Amino acid sequence: MTGVASQASLAAQVVNAIHTTIGSGPVALHEPRFAGNEWLYLKECLDSTYVSSVGRFVDRFEAELVEYTGAKHAIAVVNGTAALHVALQLAGVERGDEVLIPALSFIATANAVMYCGAIPHFVDSEERTLGLDPAALRRHLELIAELRSGKCVNRDTGRVIRAVVPMHTFGHPVDITGVQSVAHDFSLVLVEDAAESLGSTIDGRHAGTIGVMGTLSFNGNKTVTTGGGGAILTNDPALARRARHLTTTAKVAHRWEFLHDEVGYNYRLPNLNAALGCAQLEQLPDFIEAKRRLFHRYRSAFSEIPQTRIVEEPRGCRSNYWLQALLLDDSAAAQRDEILEATNGAGFMTRPVWTLGHRLQHFSQCPRMDLSVAESLERRVINLPSSPHLVR
Amino acid sequence: MTGVASQASLAAQVVNAIHTTIGSGPVALHEPRFAGNEWLYLKECLDSTYVSSVGRFVDRFEAELVEYTGAKHAIAVVNGTAALHVALQLAGVERGDEVLIPALSFIATANAVMYCGAIPHFVDSEERTLGLDPAALRRHLELIAELRSGKCVNRDTGRVIRAVVPMHTFGHPVDITGVQSVAHDFSLVLVEDAAESLGSTIDGRHAGTIGVMGTLSFNGNKTVTTGGGGAILTNDPALARRARHLTTTAKVAHRWEFLHDEVGYNYRLPNLNAALGCAQLEQLPDFIEAKRRLFHRYRSAFSEIPQTRIVEEPRGCRSNYWLQALLLDDSAAAQRDEILEATNGAGFMTRPVWTLGHRLQHFSQCPRMDLSVAESLERRVINLPSSPHLVR
C-alpha cells in the first residue's frame, strides 16, 4: 500500500501507516505474551495443591508489586473493579456521597462508586494527558462546592463530595500533582485508578502510589495479566490491614472458628492467577520497552499524516504506553467511524475510546461539570493495536 | 492407639476413629486433587493466549455444568459469593427487603444479601438435613408475615420478604420440596445456595436446579475447584441472559463501542480458571465415589463410639459428602472444643461449623425465628478431614 498514501483517503492513509508499522493483519488490539516462566509457575502451583486464595504465589506477587511500584503495601484481588470498590469504601465513601471521576474512563470507575451507594460526579479531561483536568476541576469546585465542618459539600445537591479518582488513561500519567493540590484544598480523598498504568511513573514515582490508595488491573488485555486480577496499593499500614481484612470476608484469625466482624468480600486473588502474574512481572520491563519501541514506530509512521498524531507521555512522566492512541485533529473527527471501519476491515483491530460516563442512560442524571474536552476527545481518539510483540 | 479406645476419653476415641479411617496425619480438612488433564488444559489455555474472561474453556465449562447438573443454563463467575449476589439481584431483591437464609451457613449467604442492600432474616435448621427447616419456617411465617398485594410482608418490620435461600449443608440436600412449598404459599423467590453440593441430587434432580436459580462454588476447598470460581444455574433463558449481561459489566454487544445499559459487575470466570475446572469436572464422579467410600469408613469407625454419629445423606437424596460431619450427642456437646484440640493436635484438621449468623455482632439485630436446632447443631457438629484421596 506504500506510495499511494498521499493520494488516498484519510482512512486509507491510517491503514497504511499501521501496516507500515506492524505489517499485515489480522492483529488484535492487545494480546498478552507468555514467553517466560508462566508454565513452570502454573505447574508448581498445581503441584502444591494451593490454587485458591492462599498460597505462596499470592505472597510473592504482592511482594514483587511492592518492590516494583515502591508502594509500601500491595493487596492482590480478583480484578481492578474489586480493588477500586474496596479502596473507595476504605476512603470513607458512603451511601449518598458524590465521587469525582473522569467522564472519560472505563465503566469500572463509575461502577465502583455505585457499589458504595455513591454517585459519580463527572469531571472533564485535558488533551495533554487524556486524564482529569485539575485546573478545570478547581474552577468547577470553586463554583459549586464549599467546605462545611471540613467536608466538601456540593451546594447544588447538598451531598458530600468525598473523593476524587483520577485515572491514568492508556497508561499516560494524569497531572497527579495538580489533582493532589485540589484534593488537599477541597478535603477530598485521592484514590488513583491506575488500572492501565503498571510501569508508568511521574517524576520517578509509580502511578497509583501518590494518592492515599491506588488500584491496578491485571485483566487479559493489560500490560501484565493474571487472567483476571487486580491490586490495591497503599503506603498506609492501617489501610493495608483493612484492605486485606475486607477482601477476605472480614474473617477474624482463629485456628478453627468462623468469626467475621463486618460485611466483607470474597475478593482475594487465587494463587493460580498469582502464579501467572509472577511469571508476567518478570517480563514487565521487556514488555514496556517493546511498547515504547512500538510508540516510536507509530509516531514515525503517523508523522506523515498531518491530521493525526500519536499520543505521547506528558513531560516529566514515563508512560507504559499500554494502549497506543491516535488523536485526530478536529477537522478529521467526522472521519473517525470511517477510519474504524477501514482499519478493522483491514484486520487491524482498533476502537474508539469509552463512551463518556454521562452519555450512558443510567448515569445521565449524575452531576457533572462542563465536559467539552472529554467530548472532543471522545470524537477523536482511536486506539491502535498495542501488543508488546508487534515490533522487534 | 487401637485397643485403648473404650477406656479413653471421648476426644481420644475420636482421634483413634479418625486414625483408623485415614491413617496418620498431618491431614488437611479438604485438599483438591489434580490427577487428570489439569496441566494439559492450562497449557492449552496459555498457548491460546485467551486467559481472561472470554475463551473456549469458559464455554466448555458452562456446557459441561449444564450437562452434568441438568440445568438448562450455567453462567460461570469469579466465585460463589458473586453468583449469589447476582442471583439475588435477579430474584428481585431490593434495598430494604428481607431475605430468609439459614442461620447455619457460610458467611457468603448473608453477605450476598447485604450487597443487595437487603437484610438477612435468619431461619432455623433441621437435624436430619442440617439445612433450613421448612416446617418451622412455615409456622414462623404464619405468625409474623402476611401477603399484601401478592408480596410477603413481615408485620413486625413492615419490610417485604422477597426470597428464601436454603443451603445444602456440606453437600447434604436440604428438604427442597418442603422449602418450595413454603416459597409458593408465601410468594417468595426460591434461590438455592448449592455452593457445597455439586454432585448432590434430590430424587435424581441436581441440587441448585429446583429453585428459580441455584449457585455453585469452585473454591479451592470444594469438591471441584477452579482456584476461585462459581456459577449460576437456571432453567429460565431470560434470567440466564440477564445473568450473563450483569456479570459482564452490562456491556451491550458492538464491534467497537463501549455501551453499558445498567450498573453491571466484573464477575465472569477467567478462561484460565475454567481450564482447570474442565479438567476437574472430568474427575468429579471419581471424587464423589471416593467421598462416599470415606463416609462409609468413617461411619463404621465411629459406630463404636455411642455419643457420636456421622451425618448421612437424607432419605431419597444422594449427597456428594463434600465435608464429612461428626455429630455429637447433647451429652457430649460440652466436649466439642476438647475434641477439636485433640484432633488438631494429632494432625487431623477438624473444625466446628460456622458461627451462626445472628451471633455475629453486625448481624445481631437482624430479624430471626427461634433458632434452637441451629444453636444445638453449632455446639455439636465437627467437620472431619474429607479430601477425596484419603481412602482407596
A100 dihedral zone (left: phi>0; alpha: psi -120 to 50; beta): beta
Residue A85 included in any domain: yes
CA pair distance B34, B38, nearest whole angstrom: 6
Q: Do A319 and A196 lie in a common domain? A: no
* Cβ of residue B139 closer than 8 Å to a chain A Cβ: no
Q: Are residues A315 and A173 in the same domain?
A: no
Residue B158 CB partners (closer than 8 Å, separation 6+): none
Q: Do B259 and B374 lie in a common domain?
A: no
Which residue of B lies nearest to A351 if distances are taken between CA atoms?
Answer: B256
Q: Do B270 and A350 touch (CB under 8 A)?
A: no
Residues A203 and A321 in one domain: no
Suggest the residue from A31, A34, A51, A351 to mutate for an interface test with chain B (most B CBs closer than 10 A): A51
Indicate yes or no: CB of A344 within 8 angstroms of CB of B262: no
The partner residue sitting opposite A266, judged by closest CB among B81, B221, B262, is: B81
Task: Tell me how crowded residue B315 is: count the other CB atoms within 10 A of its CB.
Answer: 6
Cell numbers 405468625 correspond to what residue?
B143
Instruction: Give the ipTM of the model, two decimals please.
Output: 0.95
Q: What is the CATH number of the domain that holds A140?
A: 3.40.640.10
Query: Tell me, what DSSP letter sits at residue B270?
Result: P
| B392 domain-assigned | no
Q: Do A352 and B257 touch (CB under 8 A)?
A: yes
The Cα–Cα gap between A260 and A52 comes to: 20
Indicate whether B109 and B235 sit together in one domain: yes
Helical segments of A269-364, H only: 271-302, 336-345
pTM for the full predicted model: 0.96
Are both B15 and B60 inside the same structural domain? Answer: no
pLDDT score of B8: 86
Among B51, B257, B276, which would you mutate to test the A interface (most chain A Cβ atoms within 10 Å of its Cβ)?
Answer: B51
Residues of A in contact with B42 (CB under 8 A): 39, 42, 46
Last residue of a domain, one of B217, B248, B281: B281
Residue of A nearest to B47 (CA): A34
Per-residue pLDDT at A303: 97
B391 is a domain residue: no
How far is residue A262's CA from residue B311's CA, in Å, rounded to a whole number? 31
User: For residues A339 and A12, what is the distance between their CA atoms, to the nearest angstrom?
Assistant: 8
Q: Are residues A258 and A163 both part of a single domain?
A: yes
* B20: closest CA of chain A, how far (Å): 23
Tell me the CA distances in angstroms from A304 to A2, A326, A333, A337, A383, one per residue in order.
12, 13, 18, 21, 18
End-to-end CA distance of chain A: 22
pLDDT given for residue B1 in this prediction: 41
Total count of residues recorded for chain A: 392
Q: Which of residues 281-340 of A touch B (CB under 8 A)?
A: 340
Partner A, chain B 53-82, Cβ-Cβ below 8 Å: 53, 78-82
**H-only helix segments in chain B:** 10-22, 38-48, 56-69, 80-90, 107-115, 134-144, 176-185, 237-247, 271-282, 284-302, 336-345, 372-380
d(CA B341, CA B346) in angstroms, rounded, equals: 8
How far is Cα B360 from Cα B358, in angstroms, rounded to an integer?
5
A340 and A223 co-located in one domain:
no
Whether residues A306 and A348 share a domain: the answer is: yes
CATH code, domain with A11 = 3.90.1150.10
B155 to chain A, any CB pair closer than 8 A? The answer is no
What local confidence, expressed as pLDDT, does residue B186 receive?
98
Per-residue CA distances from A41 to A37, B21, B55 (Å): 6, 35, 21
Whether B353 is in a domain gets the answer yes
- What are the b/e assignments for A205-225, b being 16+ CB within 10 Å? ebbbbbbbbbbbbbbbbbbbb
Extract the C-alpha cell encoding A335: 472521519
The average pLDDT across A181-189 equals 98
Alpha carbon distance B37, B43 (integer Å): 10
B109 touches chain A (CB under 8 A): no
* Residue A227 to residue B81, Cβ atoms within 8 A: no
Q: What is the pLDDT of residues B277-289, one digit of tens each?
A: 999 999 999 999 9
- Taking the C-alpha atoms of residue A7 and residue A335, their distance in angstroms, rounded to an integer, is 16
A221–chain B Cβ distance below 8 A for any pair: yes
Main-chain dihedrals φ then ψ at residue A324, nearest 5 degrees: -70, 135
One domain, residues A170 and A264: yes
Supply the pLDDT for residue B185. Answer: 98
Separation CA A79–CA B79 (nearest Å): 12
Q: What are phi and psi of A196, to 5 degrees?
A: -100, 0
Cβ-Cβ contacts under 8 Å, B225 against chain A: 51-52
CA distances from B19 to B6, B12, B24, B349, B391 (A): 15, 10, 6, 12, 12
Give me the residues paired with residue A24 across strands. none
Report yes or no on B390 lying in a domain: no
pLDDT for the residue B5? 44
**Last residue within a domain, chosen from B248, B281, B314:** B281
pLDDT at A7: 66
Closest to B325 (Cα-Cα) out of B43, B160, B125, B147: B125
Sheet containing B201-202: give its strands across: B205-206, B201-202, B317-318
Q: B227, A355: Cβ pair inside 8 Å?
A: no
Q: Answer yes or no: is A42 within a domain.
A: yes
B188 half-sphere exposure, CB direction, 13 A CA radius? 32
What residues of A are in contact with residue B262 (Cβ under 8 Å)? 362
Q: Are strands A205-206 and A201-202 parallel, antiparallel or unpaired?
A: antiparallel
B225 vs A43: CB contact, 8 Å cut-off? no
Structure confidence at residue A2 as a pLDDT band (50, 70, 90): very low
DSSP B2-46: TTSGGGS-HHHHHHHHHHHHH-SS-B-S------SSHHHHHHHHH
Q: Which residues in A lie closer than 8 A to residue B355 (C-beta atoms)? A: 257-260
CA A135 to centroid of chain Cα atoms? 21
pLDDT at A101 over 70: yes
Quick check: is B389 in a domain?
no
The answer to whether the Cα torsion of B96, B248, B193, B353 is positive or negative is: negative
Judgement on whether residues A108 and A246 belong to the same structural domain of the protein? yes
Residue B159 lies in a domain: yes
pLDDT score, position B4: 46
Q: For chain B, positions 226-285, list CB contacts with chain A under 8 A.
A: 227-228, 249, 251, 255-266, 268-273, 276
Do the chains contact at B46 and A39, CB–CB below 8 Å? yes
Residue A337 makes CB contacts below 8 A (sequence gap 6+) with none
CA B265 vs. chain centroid, Å, equals 22
Task: State the total domains in chain A.
Answer: 2
Structural domain that includes position B373: 5-33+284-384
Beta-bridge partner residues of A119: A98
A270, exposed or middle or buried, with CB in 10 Å at 0-12, 13-18, 19+? buried
CB contact under 8 A, A111 and B362: no
Please name the residue of chain B whose CA is at the shortest distance from the CA of residue A256.
B351
Q: What is the pLDDT along chain B (392 residues), one digit of tens a residue?
A: 444 445 689 999 999 999 999 999 899 999 999 999 999 999 999 999 999 988 899 999 999 999 999 999 999 999 999 999 999 999 999 999 999 999 999 999 999 999 999 999 999 999 999 999 999 999 999 999 999 999 999 999 999 999 999 999 999 999 999 999 999 999 999 999 999 999 999 999 999 999 999 999 999 999 999 999 999 999 999 999 999 999 999 999 988 888 999 999 999 999 999 999 999 999 999 999 999 999 999 999 999 999 999 999 999 999 999 999 999 999 999 999 999 999 999 999 999 999 999 999 999 999 999 999 999 999 999 999 999 989 87
Do B228 and B329 have their domain in common?
no
How do strand A189-193 and strand A201-202 relate by DSSP bridges?
unpaired
The domain boundary, picked from A280, A302, A337, lies at A280
CA distance A85 to A88: 5
Check whether A152 has a pLDDT greater than 60: yes
